[in-house]
Amino acid sequence: MSRLRSLTSKLKPYGVGLLVKQTTAPRTVLSRCCVHSSGGKEPFLSGTNSSYVEEMYYAWLENPKSVHKSWDAFFRNAEAEMPLGGTNHVASLVDKDNKTSWTLGQGLSMAPAKAEKLVEDHLAVQSLIRAYQIRGHDAASLDPLGINEVFSDGSLDEHAIGHANIGFYGLHEADLDKVFRLPTTTYVGGNESALSLREIIRRLEDSYCQHIGLEFMFINDVEQCQWIRQKFETPGIMKFTNEEKRTLLARLVRSTRFEDFLARKWSSEKRFGLEGCEVMIPALKAIIDKSSEMGVEYVIMGMPHRGRLNVLANVIRKDLEQIFCQFDPSLEASDEGSGDVKYHLGMYHERINRVTNKKITLSLVANPSHLEAVDPVVQGKTKAEQFYRGDVEGKKVMSILLHGDAAFAGQGVVYETFHLSDLPSYTTNGTIHVVVNNQIGFTTDPRMARSSPYPTDVARVVNAPIFHVNADDPEAVMYVCNVAAEWRNTFHKDVVVDLVSYRRSGHNEMDEPMFTQPLMYKQIHKQVPVLKKYADKMIAEGIVSLQEFEEEIAKYDKICEESYTQSKDKKILNIKHWLDSPWPGFFTLDGEPKSMTCPPTGIPEDMLLHIGTVASSVPVDDFKIHGGLSRILKSRMEMTKNHVVDWALAEYMAFGSLLKEGIHVRLSGQDVERGTFSHRHHVLHHQDVDRRTCVPMNHLWPNQAPYTVCNSSLSEYGVLGFELGFAMASPNALVLWEAQFGDFHNTAQCIIDQFISSGQAKWVRHNGIVLLLPHGMEGMGPEHSSARPERFLQMSNDDSDAYPDFTQDFEVSQLYDCNWIVVNCSTPATYFHVLRRQILLPFRKPLIIFTPKSLLRHPEAKSSFDDMKTGTNFQRMIPERGPASQNPLGVKRVVFCTGKVYYELVKERHLKGMDNQVAITRLEQISPFPYDLVKEEVEKYAAAELVWCQEEHKNMGYYDYIKPRFLTLLDHKRPIWYVGRDPATASATGNKNTHLVELRRFLDAAFCLHSFKGKIF
């Protein structure tokens, strides 16, 4: 009994009115169970309480099923325990032949102690059961090393570890063999409705305090909690057939021997092996098997570097020789790109699942070393695959995300990704998260790496159940993974599997962990590998023989050796063999574009009129819109009738025309439905009916592609990663992400740098995502002015010193060779064309568009239908078309610019009367640089001074990009002078007056023809 008493220090009573501190007297908790009136305290069976019990008893005598199960159990026990023939016997308290005769009050008042004890003991047992369900994981044996335990309460004795510290709420040793009715909130009874306290405790400890620790009682859904209880509490439920155990052993052999083989052959190479958590491979395969059994056809995975090669080999089934040849330093790279290290690469594979005999497609998404950055990318790709299959509930396509313990707790993008999990336009209907919990992050101990007890606590924010499991118990791991797969495919919600393991080597195989974790690694060096532990167990049980086990090892070793021999024959490394998102039919079989031409991007005039008409109306009946919106729609209709478009209408026509051609359009970001600047209004809201909306874009054509426009959560990193993943799935979709202000994209810089800018070079992954970044210096301060064009231009891969060959297909070839396209449109028409060109090109490149703010309503920033109808194209450069172009020899200065500043320059030129002396040319496409068009313009004005004018500061904006390219084009014989704001640290001033002074200064300089006289470039 001393063991039972000591349990109270660990698990405190849980339940309404049953929470007490460790120091509370055992019976205090029971007094809280008593029912009290609104007045003073009264005994349990007197006054109003006695009357209530009398009524319950009378009803029970009439029909035991008419009262709650707890009252039924109470009265049955009361009758069973009172001596027959005694005045205290409940049955004698009532004349059973005449139920209207009541003597119950007097009878029960004679035995209040026994009745109260019975109620209190049952409530205490229920609280005990609930305590195990809530806190049992604290006492579970989760650490294979036996050195780290989780303490969720600072008041607990750190040396009092294990199930021996769970409290019994005042129950005594004499109660251990007493039989208690089980509540409906537990399944430990199996087919039995009552058990002795001793047996209840034993079964609870088997369920909650062994090698599996469960966190689920925070879920606010009774059905889901009951489902989990049933899966883990039912006696004998965690059973495996001998065949399943043999399969598990074979998978462990492959996982372990693969790492052993790499260690033998390349002992000095980094490979980020899985030693210490080899069970991860059978765990993933179990999840995939169970999901396939439940109807899943496509699994998309994301993971960090640790164990990646093993996953590629034994889960995705990448050819071993292609993996092994990656270790050959003499292997020549193909000309497909820069490539990436082997433990970052992805893979796509279709095969038959051997367990279910069903077809399964597996995709492991390539990712950088930026841990967890791949999470939203995987979710976006999963959402897209579900969308294109019409898999609304996620029954056919699912995602699995693997994490390291330190990154899962430390990286904010994990939180951002979780918060997308239940948003209508972002949900993937449940993700299975598998945490490889090495209990260390590089060299950092968990105590220094997180403030929460577990690395998985972030999952609580979305009510995801968390299953902790000791990774040295393979059968427990398999069971948990099967339950996780069933959970996801039953409730379509996220679930976390925490594989508590260890890392046998350092962060990589070359690292020495004893510097910082000497005691942990002394224990690790003694640790018996999980394969040997499980094999010994299987042999002892007679499930396999030692000979069979050794033959299984020899068979896989032979496969590795043969693949190793074949890998030596490979001379070229083809990155395209590691593609994670192929687009069948879009490219040739060699992965090349089917042509190097782009058709005209204009559309018929009647189509422009039709789209404009729908954009100006409410296409559903009985739909009341805001009065201000009515005026906006009326203005659109007037523009349509006049064959003119503004920015919002041009966008509408680009989207609408692509929808007619079967191209799905998805626009996502913060406030994009209305538009940050209240210009878009793609979702109309009924003014009298809550949540009734209308999207006119989906009412354009009878058989159009769907249009998705969705306000996102207030996230850039997570949402941009999501949209990037969505765009990966198909080339036949226009996927756009719009920043609330262009300045805010820098919180998603990791996605831009590691995926968008360099994704094709590293992983041969084409992507046509479009970034809409509101940009413009308008006196709104340093966080609402600049989309940082200099950063995108600096990462552009075209060579500023290489003079290009102007071939017939120069424009398209230049786009094909670049890593992304950077534009700053100055007219609605060019915006319209560049959006359509994005789809009509025979390949896909990311498109960065610096979109306007004030130009959205600028009276001069409008375009005619003539600039958009059939036969027209995107203009990479818009040359001077005014009086200056009629007399090039009379032009003193040519001002090159881009974007909004053009309108300020034109206005200033007119005010100064210099329309004949100064030509103003706009670059709509900045990168790749339009050498051919700029060459024509500078040759046309051969005698003129060349100036680049920008509204951004000199160390920002475009000047550092365009200057060397101009000089290359000019053979360094003519300068290109700078006009704009001086260098600065902040992107813009926060003072309106300073903003205007700066603007006046550089406008004056732009039209002062003597500004650069005598200067040397």
Q: Is 97 helix (H, G, I), strand (E, B) or coil?
A: coil
**Three-state secondary structure along 438-506?**
CCCECCECHHHHCCCCCCCHHHHHHCCCEEEEECCCHHHHHHHHHHHHHHHHHHCCCEEEEEECCCCCC
User: Residue 793 is which amino acid?
Assistant: L
The per-residue pLDDT for 443 is 85
User: How many other CB atoms sit within 10 Å of the CB of residue 770?
Assistant: 20
Query: In Å, how far are 35, 673, 853 from 163, measured between CA atoms?
Result: 32, 54, 63
The per-residue pLDDT for 458 is 96
Max intra-chain CA distance, the chain: 127
Tokens of 877: 């450069």
> pLDDT tens for residues 481-529?
999 999 999 999 999 999 999 888 777 767 788 888 788 888 888 999 9
DSSP 154-183: TTS-TT--SGGGB--TT--GGGTT-EEEPP
The per-residue pLDDT for 173 is 78
pTM: 0.88
Q: Identify the CA nearest to 203 among candidates 190, 221, 218, 216.
A: 190
Q: Identify the CA nearest to 864 among candidates 853, 872, 856, 854.
A: 872
β-bridge pairing 298-302 and 397-404: parallel
pLDDT band, residue 58 (cuts 50/70/90) = low
Angle between helices 605-615 and 647-660 (to 10 degrees): 110
- Give mean pLDDT, residues 143-150: 78
pLDDT band, residue 79 (cuts 50/70/90) = low
Q: Is the pLDDT of residue 11 over 70?
A: no
Q: Identify the CA nearest to 937 among candidates 909, 895, 982, 978.
A: 895
Beta-carbon contacts of 732 under 8 Å, excluding residues fewer than 6 positions away, are: 586, 662, 663, 664, 839
Q: Return d(Cα 1006, Cα 401) in angstroms, integer.
A: 55
pLDDT band, residue 95 (cuts 50/70/90) = very low
- Give mean pLDDT, residues 770-798: 95
Q: Return d(Cα 880, Cα 895) in angstroms, integer.
A: 10
Q: Return d(Cα 280, Cα 285) in angstroms, integer.
A: 9
Residues facing 214 on adjacent strands? 467
DSSP 565-621: HHHTT--EE-GGGG-SS--TTTS-TTS--S-S------B-HHHHHHHHHHHTS--SS
The per-residue pLDDT for 53 is 67
Q: Identify the CA nearest to 281 among candidates 502, 459, 434.
A: 434
Q: Return d(Cα 236, Cα 598) in angstroms, integer.
A: 66
- Give mean pLDDT, residues 447-467: 93
The per-residue pLDDT for 305 is 87
Angle between helices 474-491 and 222-233 (to 10 degrees): 150
- 143 backbone dihedrals φ, ψ, rounded to 5°: -85, 115
User: How many other CB atoms sit within 10 Å of the CB of residue 214?
Assistant: 25
Q: Is 199 helix (H, G, I), strand (E, B) or coil?
A: helix
> pLDDT tens for residues 626-648?
999 999 999 999 999 999 999 99
278-292, 577-591, 891-905: least confidently modelled range: 577-591
The per-residue pLDDT for 169 is 66
Give the mean pLDDT of the chain: 87
Residues facing 434 on adjacent strands? 402, 497
Q: Is the model more confident about 190 or about 569?
A: 190
The per-residue pLDDT for 93 is 39
Residue 821 has, within 13 A of its CA and on its CB side, a CA count of: 32
Asked if 312 contacts 345 with a C-beta cutoff of 8 angstroms, the reply is yes
User: How many other CB atoms sit within 10 Å of the CB of residue 578?
Assistant: 26
Beta-carbon contacts of 661 under 8 Å, excluding residues fewer than 6 positions away, are: 705, 839
The per-residue pLDDT for 227 is 98
Q: Is the pLDDT of residue 3 over 90?
A: no
Asked if 560 contacts 567 with a C-beta cutoff of 8 angstroms, the reply is no
Residue carrying structure tokens 């004698």:
92
- Give mean pLDDT, residues 393-405: 96
36: exposed, middle or buried (Cβ count in 10 Å: 0-12, 13-18, 19+): middle
Q: Return d(Cα 916, Cα 919) in angstroms, integer.
A: 7
> pLDDT tens for residues 880-929?
999 999 999 999 999 999 999 999 999 999 999 999 999 999 999 999 99
Cis peptide preceding 731, ω within 30 of 0? no
Asked if 108 contacts 102 with a C-beta cutoff of 8 angstroms, the reply is no
The per-residue pLDDT for 52 is 60
Q: Identify the CA nearest to 483 among candidates 498, 467, 464.
A: 467
Angle between helices 69-81 and 112-139 (to 10 degrees): 120
Strands (E), 293-406: 298-302, 332-333, 347-353, 358-364, 397-404
Residue carrying structure tokens 């950063």:
791
Q: Return d(Cα 582, Cα 590) in angstroms, integer.
A: 12
Asked if 280 contacts 497 with a C-beta cutoff of 8 angstroms, the reply is no
159: exposed, middle or buried (Cβ count in 10 Å: 0-12, 13-18, 19+): exposed
- If residue 923 lies in a helix (H) or strand (E), which one and from where to where? strand 918-923
Q: Is the model more confident about 305 or about 81?
A: 305
- Give mean pLDDT, residues 381-393: 97
The per-residue pLDDT for 81 is 54
Q: Return d(Cα 136, Cα 700) in angstroms, integer.
A: 58
Q: Return d(Cα 421, Cα 424) in angstroms, integer.
A: 9
Q: Is the model more confident about 87 or about 800?
A: 800
Tell me the percentage of the chain whose pLDDT exceeds 70.
87
> pLDDT tens for residues 952-1000?
999 999 999 999 999 999 999 999 999 999 999 999 999 999 999 999 9
Where does residue 980 fall: left (phi above 0), alpha (psi -120 to 50 degrees), or beta otherwise?
left
Residues facing 237 on adjacent strands? none
Tokens of 717: 């990193």
N-to-C CA span, the chain: 93
